[in-house]
Structure 1
Amino acid sequence: MQTSWDIVVVGSGNAAMSAAIAAREQGRSVLVIEKATEELAGGNTAYTAGAMRFVYNGNDDLLPLLADPDDPRLARTDFGAYTAERFTADLLGFNDRRPLSREQQTLIAESYDAVRWLASQGVKFEPIYSRQSFEKDGRFIFWGGLTLATHNEGFGLAEAERAAFAALGGEIRYDCAATDLVTEGGRVRGIRVRNGAGEAGVIAAKAVVLACGGFESNAQMRRELIGPGWEAAKVRGTPYNQGDGIAMALRLGAKRHGFYGGCHATPMDLHTPDYGNLDLPHLERKHYRKICYFLGVMLNARGERFVDEGRDFRNYTYAQFGRAIMEQPGHVAWQIFDAKVDHLLYSEYRFHDAHFVEADTLEALIDKLDGIDKAQALATIAQFNAAVDPAVPFDPTVKDGRATKGLALPKSNWAQAIETGPFKAYPVTGGITFTYGGVEVDEAGGVMHENGSPIPGLYACGEMVGGVFFNGYPGGSGLTSGVVFGRRAGAGAAAWTARAAA
């Protein structure tokens, strides 16, 4: 068994595999090590919907990426365009008045090239007809700047990237957890590892790329760094992202970077398992998400609305609203819909294991909800219904301006009275996907020391990179960020090892 490599990549998610592929393209010997077994590999990537946000100017930019460019629906599809200016505005909307960070500028500038590069590695994409478009006047209208997802969603992405890496001659070792970095003479020289049986060892390398996620699966770190109550959050993805890579880098003096109090969260079925479950088929793994709140109202245990459900397209609100649910009493809320919108709810609302209650009247529905102030809930819905302006047409393909009037907390778009039975209520909580705080990296993906110099031989990508997101993010940016910074880290590590060998 080979014991010395040019590059060891820690992790096997999208960012890790992007780094590994980029390094192999440069002819370097690359080993990927993964804490999980092969069946549970893929990091958080395997749990995602596979959507990627990137700059494009129209249909012609998207067609080369598609698995089926002959899909007959394409002839009546309006993808629109998603410019660098729109991407900039979307990111700034979550920055709490911060200017674009260097990392965000890189994400925008390299997003399309990164996705084209990924497609060149055999990863194919499909239009997200079921979740990102509505049919209007016989045409599919895409909204929110997000159009494509990888074939077979995140699980398919993880599989395709592993296949591409294998085709390039790369090797992956599973059940191989990184425990610490090995250094010599101020340079990273390898990684200490341990398998599930407790057997320890050292793998020598000229460079190490840390791509093993944030700290979202570590309840203690969530409480300490994000805040009280976050220890109770459901973890949408892998249980293995315990902050190990961040801890290893910090022990070498790496510079903390980004917003450690921030995270990507999303509304989830209240009865979601504590961690994601890759044992389920990929179509079942996604059913716990509940992100159609924009079609109804959300009430907390006090029976009150607590967010403007129609503030923006759900691509731009679900990460923040997942956090908002965590801040409610008991970390719980109810999404309430009437029959007018039932056909518009995503498939996870109709999944056989989706939890909800149903009744022919609002009174009967609210009476079935445990732990809610029933009188206040009915009063809240009555006030909401009275405030809806019916003169504005409802149109889910645009921010339609159909709003409430006179409420302290408005609903700014897609407001319809909750009045047509039968009615449904879905109990939800907050599920955490990934954290925002990490380490600082340079233009080559090298991890920066607190003294302002790169740590020789140490690189990072994916959730490890701080400064990409702050108080939320536009949906689909996370996977794109993984490719952008993974590709950089892999190429940077390859260039470093080439110089070291000269």
Structure 2
Amino acid sequence: MPIRDKTYDVLVAGGGNAALCAAITARQAGASVILVESAPKAFRGGNSRHTRNLRAMHDKPNAVLTDAYTEDEYWDDLLRVTGGNTDESLARMTIRASSGLFGWMRANGVRFQPSLTGTLNLGRTNAFFLGGGKALVNAYYLTAARLGVEILYDSEVISLNMDNGAVRSIDITWRGFPETLHARCVVASAGGFQANLDWMRQYWGDAVDNFVIRGTPYNRGGVLRNMLGQGVAAIGDPTQCHAVALDARAPKFDGGITTRLDSVPFSVVVNRNGDRFYDEGEDVWPKRYAIWGRLIAQQPEQIAYSICDARAFPLFMPSVFPAIVADTLEELAMKLKLDPAKLRDTIDAFNKAVKPGQVFDGSKLDGNATEGLAPNKTNWARAVDKPPFYGYPLRPGITFTYLGVRVNDKAQVLMDNGKPTGNLFASGEIMAGNILGKGYLAGFGMTIGTVFGRIAGQEAARRARN
């Protein structure tokens, strides 16, 4: 067993995008860096392995994004999805910083693919990583290793031992063996607590048994709980989380992006009782997909069903699991274990409420709405009447929780008394609640992690040198 008795300049707790950005930036600033990743090497990278893109401000077209996406539009999008539950100063700082990320990311091994077209509506706002999140994570690990960052896999931070607002030592386990490390500064980038089902149960009760954790099983919230237990200021509602509609046939953990269902805007969604419960066409999918997990979590048995016909089926990316198909709605209901008469009544009522003469356009908000329903569908309302019919069972898919630690614009973690800690910084999901009080914008989690990872790494290296 190696003896690590040196004092590092910076210890980074975590192994995903935010942690890697912090570690690389600190090392490039001249600091000695050790990164502690709880997962084994084959599963390194946290939730970042399952990502695809990053949302970035830009004033004109560039190599990977079309048109322009200004600060004010970006801020307006964020304001709408969060309902104002955000720190405007930190949010705007993040938005502005997003415009300058591409050069740094490319210099550290990340490659981008050409802008997307189609119904995702992301070609103007989101830059997609060539090879997805796994390729991004691998590129950053190669860069970190080349720069001399020491990386520990199968290692868990057990305690950040704090005294008088500063971390004095760090207790970890390395491949099951206890160790104590010393570092002049620490960056906490260890994610939320969504994989800790006992902790989740405190807020959701037994409903968590029907939740699917779409990301890593290693985000159990140990670092977060340890910090909150030592007087670090909390931020965010523990019941709030990034939760999407996943195929109910997905594995309990680590199913990733392929298990997400994008059918909702072009379908009718019913609960276990065969009733609609929310406007499927409220907004374009990147601005509203992350509310559907929470909506489904509030339904009986935490399950729902997306129903569409042959006209709608080609309009969305399918799940990795095949759709359930039938020639009639009654047959589809039986396959989904729904009441056939109830589903027929719900679909018939929906079809009758669709306004005649509307021109369907799946690429934008088309204003095609129903009349007289509660709730109405406000966009992309079109009769579900062309066989065959398709159905998907849906479960709440939890990506990350919003309870985190409060930070300032230097990524310093704040104590309960409002004072910044002496040498503790944070980036990524563990502090995203400062900006995402609720709701989500596609790609924004990666933006927060990249921006604050770089800030935390820079500030930690500067503090360590001084």
- Do Structure 1 and Structure 2 share a fold, with TM-score over 0.5? yes
Residue 198 of structure 2 corresponds to 220
Of 2, 5, 9, 1:3 maps to: 5
Cα RMSD over matched residues? 2.0
Counterpart secondary structure, 2:295: helix
TM-fit CA distance, 1:223 = 2.5
Q: Offset at 1:37?
A: 0.6
> Structure 1 residues 250 and 143, CA, compared in 2 at 3 Å: closer, same or farther?
closer
1:205 to 161, 174, 183: 183
What does the per-residue CA deviation read over 1:228-264, in whole Å, with 9 as the maximum and x for residues that have no partner?
Answer: 6235311001111111111121233111112322100
Of 422, 429, 432 in structure 2, the residue corresponding to residue 456 of structure 1 is 422
The 5 A counterparts of 1:71-220 are 79-98=66-85, 100-127=87-114, 129=116, 133-134=118-119, 142-143=121-122, 145-183=124-162, 187-196=166-175, 198-220=176-198
Structure 2 residue 266 is matched with structure 1 residue 295: yes
AA matched with 1:123: V
Does the 8 Å contact 1:51/1:146 carry over to 2?
Answer: no
Q: 1:493 to 1:226 in 2, by over 3 A?
A: farther
Distance across 2 between alignment mates of 1:490 and 1:231 = 38
Q: Note if 1:498 corresponds to 2:465.
A: yes
Q: Is the 8 A contact 1:6 1:207 kept in 2?
A: yes
Structure 1 SS opposite 2:158:
strand
| Cα distance between partner residues in 2 of 1:32 and 1:468 | 25
**94-103 or 464-473: which moved more?**
94-103
Give the drift of 1:355.
4.6
Q: Is the 8 A contact 1:446 1:459 kept in 2?
A: yes
1:142: how far off? 4.3
Aligned pair in 2 of structure 1 residues 231, 463: CA closer, same or farther (>3 Å)?
farther
CA displacement, residues 98-138 of structure 1 (integer Å, 9 cap, x when unaligned): 46533322221211123442223221111353xx525xxxx
Kindly state the Cα deviation for residue 227 of structure 1 after the two structures are TM-superposed. Answer: 6.0
Q: 1:18 to 1:226 in 2, by over 3 A?
A: farther
1:435 to 382, 387, 401: 401
Which of 224, 241, 251 is 1:273 aligned to?
A: 251
Deviations 1:128-178 (A, max 9, x none): 53xx525xxxxxx94585332111111111111112212222121101111
User: 1:232 and 1:364 mapped to 2: Cα distance?
Assistant: 26
Give, in whole Å, the separation in 1 of the partners of 2:339 and 2:455. Answer: 52
Separation of aligned partners in 2, 1:335 and 1:145 = 28
Of residues 152-161 and 356-365 in structure 1, the stretch that sits farther from structure 2 once superposed is 356-365
Return 99-108 or 386-395, whichever deviates more: 99-108
- 2 CA distance for matches of 1:275 and 1:368? 26
1:96 CA displacement: 3.0
Q: Counterpart of 1:46?
A: 49
Query: Which structure 2 residue ranges, 5 or more long, are not aligned?
Result: none
| Residue from 274, 280, 288 that aligns with 1:317 | 288
Q: Indicate the SS of the match to 1:127.
A: coil
For 2:383, the equivalent position in structure 1 comes to 417
Q: How many residues align?
A: 462
The one-letter code matched in structure 1 to 2:274 is G
Residue in structure 2 matched with residue 327 of structure 1 by the alignment: 298
Structure 1 counterpart of 2:252, one-letter code: D
Output the CA distance in 1 between the equivalents of 2:322 and 2:296: 17
**Unmatched 5+ residue regions in structure 1?**
67-77, 135-140, 278-284
1:394 is matched with which residue? 360
Amino acid paired to 2:193: F
AA matched with 2:50: Y
Q: Secondary structure at the match of 1:3?
A: coil
* Distance verdict in 2 for CA 1:116–1:396, change over 3 Å: farther
Normalising by structure 2, we get a TM-score of 0.94
- Give the 3 Å change call, closer, same or farther, for CA 143–37 of structure 1 in structure 2: closer
Is the Cα–Cα contact under 8 Å of residues 194 and 201 in structure 1 kept in the other structure? yes
Aligned counterparts of 1:45 and 1:193: Cα–Cα separation in 2:
23
SS, match of residue 180 in structure 1: strand
Contact conserved, 2:56 with 2:127, CA < 8 A, in 1? Answer: no
SS in 2 for 1:401: coil
Amino acid at match of 2:335: K
Query: Aligned residues: percent identity?
Result: 36
The answer to whether residue 460 in structure 2 is matched with residue 482 in structure 1 is no
| Counterpart amino acid of residue 386 in structure 1 | K
Determine the C-alpha separation between the residues in 1 that align with 2:397 and 2:272.
18
Determine the C-alpha separation between the residues in 1 that align with 2:441 and 2:160. Answer: 34
- Partners of 1:209 and 1:44 lie apart in 2 by 18
| Structure 2 CA distance for partners of 1:194 and 1:410, relative to 1, 3 Å | same
Counterpart Cα distance in 1 of 2:57 and 2:206: 37
1:10-36 deviation line (CA, Å, top 9, x unaligned) = 111000001001101101011111111
CA distance in 1: counterparts of 2:339 and 2:330, whole angstroms: 12
The whole-number CA distance in structure 2 between the counterparts of 1:96 and 1:184 is 37
| 1:286 corresponds to which of 229, 249, 257 | 257
Contact 1:332/1:429 (<8 A) preserved: yes
1:25-55 C-alpha deviation (Å, 9 max, x unpaired): 101011111111100110110122x211111
> Partners in 2 of 1:103 and 1:461 — Cα distance?
12
- What corresponds to 1:35 in structure 2? 38
